[in-house]
Structure 1
């Protein structure tokens, strides 16, 4: 992950417009806005992609026809002047923009966001994104942490209240992740 020096922006809209018009090396790169800084990340490795594919497959089988599972949706958190591209976001189709603009979806419309750590961004996923998603009161934040200090595990953050998550559950790799309603889903982690 590399941070590009960015000029000072007077408005959130100017910052988002810059993000929308970035010329990334290829479509696999991701650009996010973290605390007013545009950060570009190279494509993740195959273990990361395999986890994302397995989680998406499980979610696709369990969710309502009115919801979509996205791996490239930008979600905006204007309060924190952040725009993330979560590894997975579950968003109702009715909440998506109706045109072809590359604009972010307000993060509070997401039912679940999931991030899968890479060595280079683990602290961002564990701290900044946890805090930002909690501030936006995203109902579920699933952090799949391959590099957790006490061993690889998934952490499900839920019950957001007053800007923080009230509940955190740990699922060590090998034990299934248990997602509550409206998903009511068990995701195996033995192949993570």
Structure 2
């Protein structure tokens, strides 16, 4: 992962967040890479391992089987928590189609994380701690109603953890299963994820 620090002095029209957001919009990110904003800097993450992509594909397929037509599952969608100065690109985001697709084709702004119905992060070796701590905290503050963390690198073995009920910057409910178990997602996602099929 590489990082670039913000230089707000170059931004005559606003503060650090506006400067970072404008810089993010203008980045020419290599295909498969992701650019995120956190801690006053823009970071670039390389393309994930193919097992990571395999898990994302399985989760996406399961979600499409139960979603209403007005909702979509998106990869590489930037979502921001502007009050915290954070912009992430989760592995999967479920959001209303009109929020994502009902904008001008020239607009490349991220979606407000509060509009997301579900966010899925799948850990890589280099970002596992961020997904477990920083992003968990940020998504609870957004608030994102459902956060699914699929952790291939948990110290106790690969796990999937569902966080629900955000309140005052923390999730009230947590359900965790080891790979091999079944994780039932809450409404409006009536699906049971068969984690035994996840590559790791």
**Superposition TM-score tier, normalisation by shorter sequence:** over 0.9
Question: Are positions 1:61 and 2:98 aligned together?
Answer: no
Question: Are positions 1:178 and 2:195 aligned together?
Answer: no
Aligned to 1:17: 22
Q: Using the alignment, how far apart are the partners of 2:90 and 2:182 within structure 1?
A: 21
Aligned to 2:141: 135
Q: Using the alignment, how far apart are the partners of 1:116 and 1:2 within structure 2?
A: 19
Structure 1: which 5+ residue stretches go unaligned? none
Corresponding pairs, count: 191
Deviation of the 1:11 alpha carbon: 4.1
Residue by residue, what CA displacement relative to the aligned partner does 1:138-182 show, whole Å, maximum 9, x if unpaired?
100000000011211001000101111011110110112210111
Q: Using the alignment, how far apart are the partners of 1:56 and 1:46 within structure 2?
A: 15
Rg comparison, structure with higher value: 2
Structure 2: which 5+ residue stretches go unaligned? none
Q: Using the alignment, how far apart are the partners of 1:95 and 1:179 within structure 2?
A: 23
Q: Using the alignment, how far apart are the partners of 1:2 and 1:12 within structure 2?
A: 19
Aligned to 1:6: 6
Deviation of the 1:7 alpha carbon: 1.6
Aligned to 1:99: 104
TM-score (norm 1): 0.96
Contact 1:35 1:80 in 2 (8 A): no
Greater Cα offset, 11-20 or 26-35: 11-20
Q: Which among 70, 84, 92 is matched to residue 88 of structure 2? A: 84
Q: Using the alignment, how far apart are the partners of 2:22 and 2:149 within structure 1?
A: 28
Question: Are positions 1:151 and 2:157 aligned together?
Answer: yes
- Alpha-carbon RMSD: 1.2
Q: Using the alignment, how far apart are the partners of 1:62 and 1:123 within structure 2?
A: 31
Q: Using the alignment, how far apart are the partners of 1:171 and 1:181 within structure 2?
A: 19
Q: Using the alignment, how far apart are the partners of 1:120 and 1:156 within structure 2?
A: 21
Q: Using the alignment, how far apart are the partners of 1:31 and 1:7 within structure 2?
A: 17
